[in-house]
A and B are shown apart, each in its own frame.
Chain A
Amino acid sequence: MGNRVAMIAGGMTQFAKSRRDSTQEELVMEAARMALFENDLKIDPLDVKKMIDGTIVSYFSDHFERQLLFGAIIRDYLGLNPIQSARIEGGGATGGLGLKAGYEMIKSGDASLVLVMGFEKMSEVSTAKGNEFIAMASDTDFDFPVGGYYTAYYAAMATRYMYEFGITERQMAKVAVKNRNNAQYNFFAQTNAKNPYATKSTSGFITIYDVLKSEKIATPLKRLDCCLMSDGAAVALLADESIARELTDKPVIIEGVGNGTDTMRPSDRPTTVGGLIKEDLLLPHEKAEWYEDMVYPGLHSFRAGRKAAKMAYKMAGITNPLEQIDVVELHDAYTSSELQTYEDLGLARYGEGGKLIDSAPFDDEKGIFKEINPKLANRIHVNPSGGLIGCMHAVGATGIMQAVSIMWQLQGKIEKFYGSDKLQVKDARRGLAHSHAGTGSDVTVFVMGRGW
């Protein structure tokens, strides 16, 4: 199998609705400088830079950037020529797929130290135009022309999810409360009131009442059920294990990598009775009898997420994710999709994502969790960074922000980078980063563990 691959350093920018102070390449430089200079590497950062022998540039939309071949500009601006590089794009999972490409570059033996750089600048067009650009990542012959856009696709899926399993809007709203309030302790987060780029009206703590009464976007989803649109960049440095150990005392080993796919159009998702079992998507801790009569995936579950999880768990030797994983950063594009993803990742049985969020102690009167970064099932922390709802969704950077956050969690460096230890998961030994595109068209899962 050859050497393992580790993540050894990371950086990210302040995320904001608009970062007009900097160009895209300047944002990537900001994150890369942080990655090389602030991650306690054991040799001079510029000597580390000289060892980089591969790069990946991940960004989602040529429309947002209005610049094709942007990777060339990024590599040039950061002084990373003439080494090998590729641009990776895969919708919302662009960052996760970028990391996977960097991992593969090392695993194949073509490189030993790879800088993966993701960015997006979504503020150069209006929010409505931005929604349209994102909607163009749905089928433009059949779904987009009838008024389709992403919140609506997820909302229709949420309607069916509620119908199938009895999930409530209140359970969904709790996800927003958790993630948004976590973000108040992450200085990088777009909704953190202390972020110098934060918009006052869309930052600060929220309650479940704020979520439930927020403006309707597409029923049942309301404004505060939805992820952010952001400007920003995130960078991760991946290394062959032997190089990793020369450069850091705390290499985070990528123990498992998984990737799954599904149809572009929600209309074309299979509705097979017992489909989960027929497609061999049962996880080791699950019983076939739970799902024999369940239609799968239908419009209520993300088959790609399950496929990615199964693949990553197998590689990492995970037989019961809820017992073996301490902290998760997952793609909460919408509150509903966080609950759905609990099930795809096997953290809850299908249909019981709502019960998992309900397992954390909640103050019904105040409408907030009793603790910041609450434990679910008295065991696991999900989206301490604030996720896409509280921290950011600068598409090409998102999957990288999540994985770097998991690395800092395992290294115990959350306070150093986020500016508060409130979100540090004590003694976290193994984490999971989940990156997701479209209505579940492409999903990646990384299982990461301490290498020391």
Chain B
Amino acid sequence: MSVGEKYVSKNKQPLVVEHPYSILYKHSFGEVSPFFVGLTKKRLLGTVCRNREKHRNGKDLLFLPPRADCPECMAEVNEWVDLTDADIRIYTFTTAYFAGETFLSKVPFTLINIDVQGFDNSYSKLTSTLVIDEPGEINIKREDIRIGMRIKPKFRDVPQDKVDASVLYFVPAEKP
């Protein structure tokens, strides 16, 4: 008999009871609040640090998700750029057929990391969703989603006190 076998529990009748647990958080978006306000105004905003000579790769850094402080030169970052009409591509993607509890009813859905052209993409590969069957937009099949495909941002209508990152989503901006 192995050691493992010797240690098997003899308890066959544990008592199991139910414990519900619910919490409401009052969450602040702090200094990147303008990003979320922007979403309610149908604008996609990022921040830029232009201290390129102090950055490891010698380039200006676009932050998307936005940051109020540059992790490389530690400067405060005050410059916001509007990327709503930028040339944006798919950096990578996955189609989810399972999810955490909150999103289980929404499968299948496609998650993407984006690639904003014209900027170094080290800090700007925002995670979002790609909707492939939006009425009035270019519709494609899931198997046609490709790295490098052009996409554009869209915004759900929500009041400002209910905003979160899911207000933003993307649709194809070119046919496969």
Contact B121 A271 (CB under 8 A): yes
**Interface contact A159-B111, CB-CB below 8 Å:** no
Contact of A147 among B3, B91, B111 (CB under 8 A): B111
The contact of B103 among A147, A156, A418, by CB within 8 Å, is A147
Q: Say yes or no for B128: interface residue by CB 8 A criterion.
A: yes
**B100-A146 in contact (CB<8A):** no
What CA separation (Å) do A419 and B5 show in the bound complex?
A: 8
CA distance A50 to B169 in the complex (A): 59
Tell me the minimal C-beta distance from B75 to chain A in angstroms.
17
Identity of the chain A residue whose Cβ is nearest the Cβ of B110 in the assembled complex: A219
0/1 string, B144-176, CB within 8 A of A gives 1: 000100000000000000001110110000000
Chain B, Cβ-Cβ closest to A37:
B3
> Given A146-B129, A147-B166, A417-B4, does the pair A299, B100 have CB atoms closer than 8 Å?
no
Asked if B139 CB lies within 8 Å of chain A CBs, one says: no
Shortest beta-carbon distance, A373 to chain B, in Å? 17
Let me know if A159 and B94 touch, CB within 8 A: yes
Asked if B65 CB lies within 8 Å of chain A CBs, one says yes
Chain B residue at smallest Cβ distance from A136:
B100
Q: Which residues of A contact B8 (CB under 8 A)?
A: 14, 196
By the criterion CB–CB under 8 Å, are B166 and A33 in contact? no
A163 near B147 with CB under 8 A, answer: yes
B52 to chain A, nearest CB (A): 14
Assess whether B92 is in contact with A156, with CB atoms less than 8 Å apart: yes
B9, B64, B129, B147 pick with most chain A CB within 10 angstroms: B9
Q: Are A131 and B127 in contact (CB under 8 A)?
A: no
Residue of B nearest to A420 (CB): B2
Tell me, in angstroms, the Cα distance from A443 to B108 when the chains sit together.
31
CA gap between A28 and B102 in the complex, in Å? 32
> Does A299 lie within 8 Å of B96, measured CB to CB?
no
**With A147-B111, A267-B64 in contact, do A218 and B123 touch (Cβ < 8 Å)?**
no
Q: Give the residues in chain A near B57, CB-CB below 8 Å.
A: 270, 272
On chain B, the residues within 8 Å of A266 by CB distance are: 113, 125, 127
Indicate if B93 sits at the interface (CB-CB under 8 A).
Answer: yes
Residue A157 at the chain B interface, CB threshold 8 Å: yes
Decide: A219 and B129 in contact? CB cutoff 8 A: no
B9 touching A21 by the CB < 8 A rule?
A: yes
B16-27 CB contact bits vs A (8 Å, 1 = yes)? Answer: 100101000000
Asked whether B117 is an interface residue with its Cβ less than 8 Å from the other chain, the reply is no
* A49 smallest CB distance to B (angstroms): 18
CB pair B92 A267 closer than 8 Å: no
CB within 8 Å for A132 and B122 given contacts A156-B94, A417-B3: no
> Separation in Å of the A293 CB from the closest CB of chain B?
15
Q: C-beta contact mask, B42-59 vs A, less than 8 Å → 1, else 0?
A: 000000000000001100
Is B129's CB under 8 angstroms from A159's CB? no
Contact of A289 with B by CB under 8 A: no
- Give Cα A415 to B11, complex, Å: 26
Say yes or no: A159 contacts B166, CB within 8 Å. Answer: no
B120–A147 CB distance below 8 A: no
Query: Contact residue range for chain A?
Result: 35 or more
Interchain CB contact under 8 A, A66 and B96: no
| A265 adjacent to chain B (CB < 8 Å) | yes
Chain A residues contacting B98 (CB-CB under 8 Å) are 131, 151, 215, 217-218
A204 within 8 A of B: no
Known contacts A271-B122, A417-B4; A217/B93 CB under 8 A: no
- Residues A187 and B104 in contact, CB atoms below 8 Å apart: no
| Segment of A137-145, A236-244, A325-333, A429-437 engaged in the interface with chain B | A137-145
Cβ-closest chain B residue relative to A192: B4
Q: Which of A141-182 contact B (CB under 8 A)?
A: 141-149, 151-153, 155-160, 163
Known: A30-B9, A156-B92, A159-B147. A146 touches B101 (CB 8 A): no
CA–CA, A219 to B5, complex, Å? 38
A157 touches B122 (CB 8 A): no
Nearest residue (CB) in A for B164 is A145
Distance A374 CA – B91 CA, assembled complex (angstroms): 35
Give 1 or 0 for each of A102-138: 1 = CB within 8 Å of chain B CB.
Answer: 0000000000000000000000001011011001000
Q: Is the CB of B92 within 8 A of A157?
A: yes
Q: Which of B4, B7, B100, B125 contacts A267 (CB 8 A)?
A: B125
A66 touches B9 (CB 8 A): no
Q: Please determine whether B7 and A30 come into contact, CB atoms closer than 8 angstroms.
A: yes
B165–A146 touching, CB < 8 Å:
yes
Q: In whole angstroms, what is the CA distance A418 to B11 when docked?
A: 22
Judging by beta carbons under 8 Å apart, are B101 and A299 in contact? no
Check B12–A145 contact: CB distance below 8 A: no
Q: Which residues of chain B are near A22, meaning CB under 8 Å?
A: 9, 11, 14
B40 interfacial by beta-carbon distance below 8 Å: no
Most chain A CB atoms below 10 A, which of B2, B14, B113, B127:
B127
- Counting from the closest, the 10 A-B pairs by CB-CB distance are A419-B2, A132-B100, A155-B94, A160-B92, A187-B4, A128-B101, A21-B11, A267-B125, A147-B103, A270-B122
Residues of B within 8 A of A (CB): 2-5, 7-9, 11-12, 14, 16, 19, 21, 29, 56-57, 64-65, 91-104, 106, 109, 111-113, 120-129, 147, 164-166, 168-169
Can you pick out 6 interface pairs between chain A and chain B where the beta carbons lie within 8 Å of each other?
Answer: A129-B101, A266-B125, A267-B125, A270-B122, A299-B92, A419-B4
State the A residues within 8 Å of B (CB). Answer: 13-14, 19-22, 30, 33-34, 38, 66, 126, 128-129, 131-132, 135, 139, 141-149, 151-153, 155-160, 163, 187-188, 196, 215-221, 265-272, 278, 299, 415-420
